[in-house]
């Protein structure tokens, strides 16, 4: 009898432990789901991607379907529209100019860091600017839903066949009043203010990342690098080599 009771007690303990593990897993799953929902609610937007296959280099599997279509416009039949959610918008920086001894550029001008305005990079998402795909197809992007917080990532580091290069080009961006109204489908105004900026200072090999954060209550900017925190003026944020930015929607 004692052995029977002992077996039952061990079985009950195992069942209780299993139930506790199940409860913990459910709580962790629920917490993870809530965290994901918060992230998506704050940072998720939506893009419309239009792909024109008219000038593609090789046929697609759906060519027979396109050719048998009764559509009156062959150009329209070659264009597909898809919607895709995003958390980050990636922006390509134009290659920095290369100066050689034979280019006629003096030493003073060679040391000038190239600059490019942010709207020029954002033109990628205006719905009309074309990007050429691997097969020669023309791809355009249009923002159909703007997030509460917009994250911009600048493709500053380029990997070639031998090593990774850093593009030193300065991005000219506003700290306040970034107007993105023209990039949406509706006529609603869309305006963002910068709240955080991550910059990479120095060379690719020895450079460091610096985080610029806005204290909204005080309207002051702070630079953070490792354990060092110091107050800075907004002009220092603007002239930094921005790598990633977070904008908060105001309108």
CATH number of the structural domain spanning residue 104: 3.90.70.10
pLDDT digits 0-9 by tens, 44-80? 999 999 999 887 765 555 555 544 443 333 345 688 9
The whole-number pLDDT of residue 24 equals 60
Q: Are 211 and 200 in contact (CB under 8 A)?
A: no
Q: What is the pTM of this model?
A: 0.75
Lowest mean pLDDT among 17-31, 161-175, 180-194, 202-216: 17-31
**Structural domain boundaries, residue 2:** 1-43
Alpha-carbon span 233 to 238, nearest angstrom: 9
For residues 10 and 108, state if they share a domain.
no
For residues 136 and 226, state if they share a domain.
yes
For residues 17 and 114, state if they share a domain.
no
Judged against a pLDDT cut of 80, whether residue 32 lies above it is answered with: no
For residues 239 and 180, state if they share a domain.
yes
Number of domains in the chain: 2
**Strand-pair partners of 140:** 50
For residues 103 and 227, state if they share a domain.
yes
For residues 30 and 146, state if they share a domain.
no
For residues 117 and 178, state if they share a domain.
yes
Alpha-carbon separation of residue 97 from 61, 115, 161, 169 (angstroms): 41, 11, 20, 10
For residues 59 and 7, state if they share a domain.
no
Q: Where are the beta strands (DSSP E) in the chain?
A: 45-52, 79-86, 89-92, 115-117, 131-132, 138-145, 149-155, 157-159, 164-166, 170-172, 178-179, 191-201, 208-215, 220-225, 228-232, 242-249
For residues 11 and 79, state if they share a domain.
no
Percentage of the chain exceeding pLDDT 90: 57
Judged against a pLDDT cut of 90, whether residue 99 lies above it is answered with: no
Buried b (16+ CB within 10 A) or exposed e, 76-91: ebbeeeeeeebeebeb
For residues 180 and 216, state if they share a domain.
yes
Where does the pLDDT of residue 204 fall: very low under 50, low under 70, confident under 90, or very high at 90 and above? confident
For residues 9 and 113, state if they share a domain.
no
For residues 31 and 119, state if they share a domain.
no
């Amino acid at each position: 009898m004692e052995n029977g009771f002992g077996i039952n007690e061990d079985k009950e303990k195992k069942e209780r432990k299993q139930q506790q593990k199940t409860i913990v897993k459910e709580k962790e799953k629920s917490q993870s789901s809530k965290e994901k929902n918060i992230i998506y609610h704050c940072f998720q937007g939506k893009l419309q991607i239009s792909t024109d296959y008219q000038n593609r280099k090789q046929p697609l599997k759906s060519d027979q379907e396109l050719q048998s279509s009764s559509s009156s416009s062959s150009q329209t039949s070659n264009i597909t529209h898809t919607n895709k959610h995003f958390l980050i918008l990636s922006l390509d920086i134009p290659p920095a100019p290369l100066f050689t001894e034979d280019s006629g550029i003096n030493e003073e001008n060679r040391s000038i860091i190239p600059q490019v305005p942010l709207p020029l990079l954002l033109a990628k998402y205006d719905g009309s600017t074309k990007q050429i795909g691997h097969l020669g197809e023309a791809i355009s992007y249009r923002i159909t839903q703007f997030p509460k917080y917009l994250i911009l990532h600048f493709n500053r580091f380029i990997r070639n066949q031998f090593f990774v290069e850093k593009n030193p080009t300065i991005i000219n961006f506003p700290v306040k009043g970034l107007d993105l109204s023209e990039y949406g489908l509706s006529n609603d105004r869309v305006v963002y203010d910068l709240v955080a900026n991550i910059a990479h200072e120095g060379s690719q090999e020895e450079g460091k990342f610096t985080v610029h954060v806005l204290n909204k209550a005080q309207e002051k900017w702070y630079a953070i690098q490792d354990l060092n925190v110091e107050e800075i003026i907004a002009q220092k944020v603007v002239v930094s080599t921005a790598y990633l930015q977070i904008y908060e929607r105001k309108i």
